[in-house]
Chain A
Amino acid sequence: MNVLSDERILLGHGGGGRLTRDLIDNEIVSRFGKGPLQGLPDGARLGIAGGEIVFSTDSFVVAPLVFPGGDIGKLAVHGTVNDVAVSGGTPRWLSLALIIEEGLELARLRGILDSIAEAAKECGVIVATGDTKVVARGQCDGLYINTAGIGEPIEGLRPDIKKIARGDVVIASGPLGDHGMAVMAAREGLGFAQGLRSDTAPVHRLVHAAATWAEDVKFMRDPTRGGAAAVLNEIVEGRDFGVVVQETALPYSPQARAISEVLGIDLLHVASEGRLLLVCAPERARDILNAWKNLPEGKDAALIGRVTGDKGRVLLETAIGGRRMIDVPQGELLPRIC
């Protein structure tokens, strides 16, 4: 048996797949899993004097710090804003904690901070508190950011994974996997000259558009680490239904498809940072799709699947009429030649 890897953290533990899940279930949930952390929502709803707040946090590590279509700063704002939004909140306040590596060029830091300011403005959130630490060279990779967000609940909108039922449908707000593929392509060593941009963007306008039919919105999540595959598998975990996805309905950008073919990576496993998966009652799908398609960030929205079928399984109906299982990614995504 592999003693070493059982006792140490591997990069794959951060990949958003099965290893990540095991780490969180065995080490985090076992200690803190009672209360608001139960079920691991993207954001917690907490009762406070006079009402409720939606609370979420996220940490950001990405190489390179700046990539086509965005940078770590934008990502740090969008990531937390989106977690608050999909939990049914309007994001209001952010905390901003920076862990900076000795030697980081000030110009680069300024650029990232400007980008944070711009993103916060666009999302209507205020950076309310923060922290700065500098660590010795080699102790972090340029810059790590943690943000936490507080939002106000949107009236009537209480998405909850437990509300999902057989017959519901799954909608994607736009092309999947652009962010992960753009970052992978930009990363040193892959050497791709140009082509694809990250999709990093806030989803709160999409959430508000869907909130018109708040009663029928069962569940929302931004398919970040682990991609759509991780979200879909979470939906069916431990339930008596499955999800069947139509391959031909999946929205992908031509560039992300191209790079995924070249590197041998399944786009369903690749992160988006400005997309939304939403599960709703079937009779609402058309309304929500239309509302989204009227927004620039939702113009490629598509109904991608249905809640039905085999218990606990996510199946893909392939373009040629075959079927296969969509599994969660097994850890780190690596370019393949096989």
Chain B
Amino acid sequence: MKYIDGFRDPDAARYLKREIGALAKRLAAAERTVRLMEVCGSHTMAIARYGIRQVLPENVRLLSGPGCPVCVTDAAYIDAAIALAEQGHTIATFGDMLKVPGSGRTLADARSVGGRVKVCYSPMDAIGEAEENPSREVIFLAIGFETTIPPVTAVVKAANAKGLSNISFLTAFKLVPPALEALTTDPEVKVDGFICPAHVSAIIGSDAYVPFVEKHEVPCVIAGFEPLDILMGIKGLLEQLLSGEPELVNQYSRVVKKEGNKAALALMDAHLEPADASWRGIGTIPSSGLKLRPQLRRYDAAEKFGVRLEGGTPDSRCRCGDVLKGKLLPPECPLFGKACNTLRPVGPCMVSAEGSCAAYYKYSR
């Protein structure tokens, strides 16, 4: 696979492992244990998939941050989606959402008792579903970080252009920079450097992190999702820590530009406006979400069906909040592997295949 396989070269990985080992030794000499956080769930998954933790020295610890928008989706949101399915409407969704539990049940459960749940690879599939079934209401579960928001927004735009009246969007979009800011200002969270997301950054651009790096003086590296990208990112963070000069380095320059994807950002701006967002396991972070602008409210499923996205009761023993913030490693949670596993996930980090707990559970047990 062009532009994939070359970034998985075993010998280059061994070379980088050696380099990282040498840097870590210098840090160890100063009795430093380094805590690096990967902000994005796809990094978490790649780290698990390639066994990257096992090739790192002992004093370099990787923490999994907020993860992915699937895992941070509120229980109340899932409850609302299930309720809409039970009213006979069609729920169109990315496959990842099927296993996410609300206060108890999942969309897969709802489907098993007759709920209509259509799994989409592309959100555009929801338009086809609405056009083929004009007498049915189709509700697309509009979740996502900045990577997924533009594709979903393009679907809103297409629905509007076609004048479709039987499709709507239950929005729970989330933004990465506000979450990063919230994590860093939490005094309990101790992180020495951030591995910033690859494809979120492709949309928002590397400049989006500059104020963050300047304010908090913390090393940040934008890295791709291939194993050599991640190892290069870790190496770069260790070098910054040794030099004592924190900066933002874009190691994914083959895709991420300084200004990001202007067409995508303009599309988002034309259709969406800032909103507070509730992150499962973390709580509400001000202005960390987006919702449809007032002129598009007729496509807002919450308005259309009078859905209240409040309440929802995940298991109170769940420590996902602490895992998401990097305060706790997944196996340190009392539910891990027992009451909470990939088959019956309780919290957000076990929900997504790349959630920090699921990755731990699957790959490093």
Contact = CB atoms under 8 A, between A and B. Distances in A.
**Direct contact between A and B in the complex (CB less than 8 angstroms)?**
yes
A2 B104 contact: yes
Contacts of B41: 338
A327 to B, nearest CB: 5
Interface in B309-365: 342-344, 352-354, 362-365
B150 to A, nearest CB: 13
Contact of A325 (B108, B120, B122, B363): B363
Contacts of B101: 2
A327 B94 CA distance: 23
Nearest to A320: B13
A190 B109 contact: no
Interface in A65-98: none
Contacts of A12: 108
A19 interface: yes
Contacts of B363: 324-325, 327
A122 interface: no
Given A5-B105, A319-B8, A189 B121 contact: yes
B125 A189 contact: yes
Interface string A157-194: 00000000000000000000000000000000111000
B113 interface: yes
Range of interface residues on B (Cβ < 8 Å): 35 or more
A337 B51 contact: no
Contacts of B68: 338
A11 interface: yes
A330 B343 contact: yes
B51 A323 contact: yes
A111 B353 CA distance: 40
B50 A5 contact: no
> Which of A5, A325, A332 has the largest number of chain B CB atoms within 10 A?
A5
B104 A324 contact: no
Nearest to B92: A189
Nearest to A18: B343
Contact of B17 (A321, A323, A331, A336): A321
A290 B353 CA distance: 39
A334 B364 contact: no
> Which of B14, B48, B148, B342 has the largest number of chain A CB atoms within 10 A?
B342
Interface in B58-88: 68-70
Contacts of A50: none
Contacts of B121: 189-191, 263, 335, 337
Given A319-B8, A324-B363, A338-B42, A5 B109 contact: yes
B49 interface: yes
B181 interface: no
Nearest to A323: B51
Contact of A324 (B4, B42, B364): B364
Given A189-B119, A336-B353, A338-B354, A320 B95 contact: no
Contacts of B95: 334-337
Given A191-B121, A336-B96, A337-B94, A264 B364 contact: no
Given A2-B105, A5-B106, A336-B95, A323 B113 contact: no
Contacts of A2: 101, 104-106, 109, 344
A3 B112 CA distance: 13
A335 B4 contact: no
B54 interface: yes
A9 interface: yes
A254 B53 CA distance: 28
Interface string A1-34: 1111100111110000011000000000000000
A254 B2 CA distance: 11
B122 A318 contact: no
Nearest to B14: A321
A287 interface: no
A263 to B, nearest CB: 7
Contact of A11 (B108, B353, B362): B108
Contacts of B106: 2, 5
B122 A191 contact: yes
A191 B123 CA distance: 12
B190 interface: no
Contacts of B120: 189
Interface string B145-160: 0001000000000000
Contacts of A248: 10
9 contacts: A4-B109, A189-B118, A320-B52, A324-B50, A324-B363, A330-B342, A336-B94, A337-B94, A338-B354
Interface of A: 1-5, 8-12, 18-19, 189-191, 248, 254, 257-258, 261, 263-264, 316-325, 327, 330-332, 334-338
